[in-house]
């Protein structure tokens, strides 16, 4: 029984040990790295919070278009003072007054967006207590009720901020949604750069380790040949120098690798204790992207186009505000309702009386040393400046998209050429090494072949880096997945 138990325990421990080891080691492709970053990266979380914040700002604006229910009032207030009263005979007496007042009012308010007006319906009650104000020092109570009052306030010839906000706020929310998608694509772009930085650092370590091993062997061979007099001392010293340089390069490569690994893990949100391996992308997809089509997609999908529109609307808003605030303005307010007063609360709602209120206010600027004209001219010229700036920015945006597409169309051929050069350089080095071992070439030509091999390998990785960063840069400009042939849209419930 004990043997079976211990056997089961050993198997269980071995299983969990292998599971923990698998969790502490991860092998990632470029696509997997991007997906992990979108889930775990602090940059992804920051983009999410930005979108959530924009969503709540938009909801706040939408609430301004809907009716609001408000309750306001005063808790019982108390005042005690000596006041002067003039009598019928012209004399003045002073007497002490003590009173308390409280009120509560419930109202429904609705903004009228097309006109900028406001409609409200309210109902309230007020209580006044005069302490020791009655006969025999009794308290006097006064109640006032307003069962229903309808009030309408309408600005005339004034700036309608709510109408302009109705144009701006939905557009801002659309921009925020686009920017979230762009932030995710920007994260993919940054992950791609970090991925290949990490990959190149790893390649450099492997190359440096290989070079140390090879140069150590060459140095040992050179020592033997020097001892038998088949090579000069200069060749021996050159071999030793190459070995020391290779050892120095290995130390530098290890430091750069550690830094690149830490940056890569931080960007992806991977714990530092996890060991990570990255896999070289097997191929660069052959994508035939039309310049005009990409430009059309960028104009349609990128938030920059909406930002241009927003800037134009805001400039028009500023001009309209300056023009309206500089001219004649008026306001109209009218109310109708019912009210009643009583000394007894039970009678305060009996037989309510009509209550009407109407007023028209106005403001006419007569003379202010040309301030209003200056404000209008400043806003008008700012409007023109904005229009010209946007026209130039649109041109620059179009040029950027066209240039990106043209550059990308050349990147795949560069990858193919770099891959071919890598194979040739590696083969040439093997031939040169074999010829050196049999004494057909000197050590200088061997080191030349070795350096060309290392350079070709790095160039191939750099060509892959240029291709994939160019691809994700094009995606974030157009918000379009060219491999799948569909737009990149917001795929979250935020």
| b/e code 61-93 from CB counts within 10 Å (16+ = b) | beeeeeeeeeeeeeeeeeeeeeeeeeeeeeeee
d(CA 173, CA 179): 10
The neighbouring-strand residues paired with 120 are 109, 151
What residue has token string 């290779």? 246
Q: Does some domain include residue 248?
A: yes
337 and 433 inside one domain: no
pTM of the model: 0.80
Structure tokens at 112: 């009228």
Residue 375 domain flag: no
Is 230 found in the same domain as 354?
no
Residues 124, 216, single domain; the answer is: no
Same domain membership, residue 418 and residue 304? yes
Same domain (yes/no): 242, 358: no
Residue 294's pLDDT is 92
Dump pLDDT digits (tens) for 91-120: 777 777 788 888 999 999 999 999 999 999
Average pLDDT, the chain: 86
Residue at 448 is within a domain: yes
- Inside any domain, residue 378: no
Around Cβ 269, how many Cβ atoms within 10 Å? 16
- Residue span of the structural domain in which 136 resides: 70-112+117-157+329-364
**What is the rounded average pLDDT of the residues 365-382?**
82
Contact by Cβ (8 Å): 343, 143 = yes
Residue 374 resides in a domain: no
State the Cα–Cα distance between residues 117 and 200, nearest whole angstrom: 65
Q: What is the pLDDT of residues 273-319, one digit of tens each?
A: 889 999 988 778 888 888 999 999 999 999 999 999 999 999 999 99
Quickly tell me which residue has 């070709």 as its tokens: 456
Q: Which of 40-54, 121-135, 241-255 has the lowest mean pLDDT?
A: 121-135
Instruction: Please give the biggest Cα pair distance in the chain.
Output: 143
CATH number of the domain enclosing 299: 1.20.1600.10
User: In this structure, are 93 and 174 located in the same domain?
Assistant: no
What share of the chain in percent tops pLDDT 70?
A: 92
Per the CB < 8 A criterion, the answer to whether 114 and 163 are in contact is yes
Among the residues of 286-359, which ranges form H helices? 291-301, 303-326
* Cα–Cα–Cα angle for 413, 418, 423, rounded to 5 degrees: 130
11 lies in a domain?
Answer: no
Same domain (yes/no): 337, 210: no
125 and 47 in a common domain: no
Q: Is residue 3 part of a domain?
A: no
Which residues, in sequence order, are CB contacts of 95 under 8 Å at separation 6+?
82, 83, 85
Closest to 180 measured CA to CA, from 415, 479, 387, 484 = 479
Q: Which two tokens stand for residue 303?
A: 């938030």
Q: Based on the fold, state whether residues 339 and 256 are members of the same structural domain.
A: no
**494 in a domain, yes or no?**
no
Do 173 and 151 lie in one domain? The reply is: no
Asked if 196 and 298 sit in the same domain, the reply is yes
User: Residues 139, 173: one domain?
Assistant: no
Could you give the number of structural domains in the chain?
2
């Amino acid at each position: 029984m004990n043997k079976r138990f211990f056997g089961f325990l050993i198997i269980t421990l071995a299983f969990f040990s292998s599971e923990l080891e698998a969790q502490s080691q991860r092998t990632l492709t470029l696509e997997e790295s991007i997906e992990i970053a979108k889930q775990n990266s602090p940059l992804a979380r920051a983009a999410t919070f930005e979108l959530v914040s924009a969503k709540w700002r938009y909801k706040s604006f939408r609430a301004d278009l809907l009716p609001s229910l408000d309750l306001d009032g005063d808790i019982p207030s108390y005042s005690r003072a000596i006041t002067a009263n003039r009598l019928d005979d012209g004399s003045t007496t002073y007497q002490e007054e003590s009173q308390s007042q409280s009120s509560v009012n419930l109202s429904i308010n609705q903004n009228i967006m097309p006109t900028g007006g406001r409609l409200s319906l309210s109902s309230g009650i007020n209580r006044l207590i005069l302490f020791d104000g009655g006969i025999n020092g009794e308290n006097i109570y006064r109640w006032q009720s307003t069962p229903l009052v309808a009030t309408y306030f309408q600005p005339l010839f004034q700036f309608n901020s709510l109408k302009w906000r109705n144009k701006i706020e939905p557009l801002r929310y659309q921009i925020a949604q686009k920017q979230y998608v762009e932030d995710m694509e920007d994260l993919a772009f940054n992950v791609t750069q970090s991925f290949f930085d990490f990959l190149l650092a790893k390649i450099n370590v492997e190359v440096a380790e290989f070079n140390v091993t090879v140069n150590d062997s060459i140095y040992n061979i050179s020592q033997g040949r020097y001892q038998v007099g088949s090579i000069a001392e200069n060749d021996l010293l050159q071999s030793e120098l190459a070995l020391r340089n290779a050892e120095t390069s290995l130390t530098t490569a290890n430091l750069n690798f550690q830094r690149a690994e830490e940056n890569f893990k931080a960007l992806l949100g991977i714990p530092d204790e996890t060991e990570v391996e990255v896999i070289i992308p097997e191929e660069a997809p052959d994508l035939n992207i039309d310049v005009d089509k990409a430009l059309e997609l960028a104009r349609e999908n990128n938030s920059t186009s909406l930002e241009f529109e927003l800037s134009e609307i805001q400039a028009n808003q500023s001009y309209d505000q300056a023009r309206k605030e500089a001219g004649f303005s008026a306001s109209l307010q009218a109310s109708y309702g019912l009210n009643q007063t009583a000394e007894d609360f039970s009678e305060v709602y009996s037989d309510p009386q009509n209550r009407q209120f109407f007023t028209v206010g106005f403001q006419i600027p007569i003379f202010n040393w040309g301030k209003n004209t200056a404000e209008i001219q400043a806003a008008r010229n700012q409007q023109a400046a904005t229009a010209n700036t946007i026209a130039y920015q649109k041109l620059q945006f179009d040029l950027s998209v066209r240039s990106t597409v043209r550059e990308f169309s050349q990147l795949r051929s560069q990858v193919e050429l770099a891959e071919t050069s890598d194979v040739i350089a590696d083969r040439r080095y093997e031939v040169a090494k074999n010829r050196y071992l049999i004494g057909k070439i000197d050590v200088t030509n061997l080191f030349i072949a070795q350096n060309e091999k290392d350079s070709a390998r790095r160039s191939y990785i750099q060509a892959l880096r240029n291709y994939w960063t160019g691809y994700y840069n094009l995606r974030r400009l157009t918000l379009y997945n060219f491999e799948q042939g569909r737009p990149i849209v917001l795929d979250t419930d935020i």
